[in-house]
Structure formats: C-alpha cells, structure tokens
Amino acid sequence: MSDYSLRVWEAAAYPFRRPLRGALLGGLAAGIALARYLPWSGRRNALPVVFLFLVAYAVSYLFHVVIETSTEEEYRENPLRGVDFKEALLNLAQFAGAFAVSFLPVFGLLVWALMKDGVPFEDGALLVFLGLAALAGTTYFPMAVLLLGFTGTWVAAFNLPLGVRGIGRIGSDYWICFAFFAVLVAVSTFLEISWVGPRERLSGAGLAAFLGTTFAEVYLAVVAMRAAGRLYSLYRERLGWQAGPEA
C-alpha cells in the first residue's frame, strides 16, 4: 500500500480533531442551511447577501484546508482569522471556475435538452450521457481544485492537458482521492433530490432536511479537500508545481 492510501483516511476525522474547528464548521453549515430554508421574498430581504457571505467564507475555508494540508502546516485554530470578504469572494469565484470547467458538459446537455423538448429527465439516452458527463467531471474536479489552489488563477483549471498529465503522474492514488469527491457528489445529489426536494419548505421536516443535508455536504467537502491537499503534499515533486504549474 502507498503512503497516501495509509495516511488519507485520517481525513474523515480531521473536521472534528479540534473543538473550535468542529464548532466553526457546524456554525457555517447551520447558517447556510437557514439562509437556504427561509424565504427570500421581499424587496429588502438580506438573506441572499447572508447566503453569499456564508458560502464565500465556507469556500475560503476549503481552499485553506487544501493549501495548508499540502504544505503540511498545522491548520490554525481559527482558519477564518484575517480572511476578508474580498478574499473570500475571490476564492468563491475560483471554486466556481473549477466547478464550471469540470461540469460544463453536464450543464451543456441540460440546456440543450431543455431547449429541445423541456423534459430532460424523461429521455433514457440523455440520462446515460448525463451520468457519464457527471462521472468525467467528478474525475477531473480534484485536479481542477489543485490547479486553482496552487496557481491562484481560475484559468489554470481550463488547462486540460496539464490536468490530465498530472492525473497520469500521480497514478492510482489519484483514484483514491477521486473516491472522496465521488462520495461528496453522490451523497449531496441524493440528499438534495430525495430528502430536501420532496419536503414542504416551511415545515419542521423541511428544516431538518436542509440542516441535515447541509451538514453532510460541508463535512464531506472538508474531508475531500483534506484528501486533495494530502495528495499534493506527497506528489508535489512529481507534479513540479512548486512555482506554479508548467505547461
């Protein structure tokens, strides 16, 4: 077994190894869940801004997990100390870039299906293609996150030859990291569709669904980012990204 396969499983306990870290994650998850759960109607409703603020800081937290894990530095007790909102918004834009380049085929297929006949989920062949596109996107997403984290620019994630070459250089350990992200995507999709979707929004069951789903998503996202950072810490020399990726 490789060093990575032996060490990466500590990622599952990482979010709760320090009380303040666990409390911070719980607070962010609860805030995001409530901001999603409560109605956004009204001209001066501040919930959309609150939601954006919380999501931006949560994404900033995720990027710090990747970077500080990869450099094998002990994560500071309060990871959001000194992080301003401008930096958090930049991290959110970078994360959105990684997500967009990874899942662009999925979005393209959905838009095409909606424009074609408006019933994208009733076409069996389309569902197969959507599943394959989602699998390909999930496969590339960990590499896109690493490229963004170590170049500081969202454009790096669009360098598909560099990303694919990086996956080849890492080898089988990349697929262990991929498994963490696959669980994140699969569990999030399942909970959103089967638990959040069918519940009446302003109800006790609806609130429980939003809270439970968001807690699971935040926890799994931190674990996946920890796994990605651990991967880079072991393969940095092979990837050659110390001063930024080289094409």
Residue 188 is part of which domain span? 3-239
pLDDT digits (tens, 9 = 90+) for 31-80: 999 999 998 887 788 999 999 989 988 988 888 888 788 776 655 555 55
Place of tokens 């994404």: 59
- 213-218 long-range contacts (CB < 8 A, ≥24 apart) are 213/33, 213/188, 214/29, 214/30, 214/32, 214/33, 214/36, 215/26, 215/29, 215/30, 215/33, 216/187, 216/188, 216/191, 217/29, 217/184, 217/187, 217/188, 217/191, 218/25, 218/28, 218/29, 218/32, 218/58
In the predicted structure, residue 128 carries a pLDDT above the cut 90: no
Most confident of 19-23, 92-96, 212-216: 212-216
* Short-list 141, 156, 43, 56, CA closest to 99: 141
Asked whether residue 228 is domain-assigned, the answer is yes
In the predicted structure, residue 150 carries a pLDDT above the cut 50: yes
Asked whether residue 207 is domain-assigned, the answer is yes
Give, in order, the Cα–Cα distances in Å from 88 to each of 30, 51, 77. Answer: 19, 13, 18
Residue 43 neighbours by CB distance under 10 Å:
4
Percent of the chain with pLDDT over 70: 87
Most confident of 23-32, 103-112, 118-127: 23-32
Q: Grade residue 120 by pLDDT with cuts at 50, 70 and 90.
A: low
Number of domains into which the chain is organized = 1
User: Hey, CA dihedral for 220, 36, 103, 130, is it positive or negative?
Assistant: positive
Asked whether residue 213 is domain-assigned, the answer is yes
What's the rounded Cα separation, in Å, for the pair 93 and 82? 19
- Model pLDDT, residue 112: 78
What's the rounded Cα separation, in Å, for the pair 47 and 65? 27
What's the rounded Cα separation, in Å, for the pair 87 and 37? 26
Q: What is the mean pLDDT of the chain?
A: 84
pTM of structure:
0.85
In the predicted structure, residue 122 carries a pLDDT above the cut 70: no
Asked whether residue 120 is domain-assigned, the answer is yes
User: Is residue 60 within 8 Å of residue 91, measured between CB atoms?
Assistant: yes
Asked whether residue 7 is domain-assigned, the answer is yes
- Tokens at residue 18, please? 């320090």
Asked whether residue 63 is domain-assigned, the answer is yes
Q: Indicate the helix (H) or strand (E) that contains 241.
A: none
Asked whether residue 194 is domain-assigned, the answer is yes
Q: Grade residue 118 by pLDDT with cuts at 50, 70 and 90.
A: low
pLDDT digits (tens, 9 = 90+) for 221-246: 999 999 999 998 888 888 876 544 44
In the predicted structure, residue 85 carries a pLDDT above the cut 80: no
**Amino acid identity, residue 137?**
G
Asked whether residue 244 is domain-assigned, the answer is no
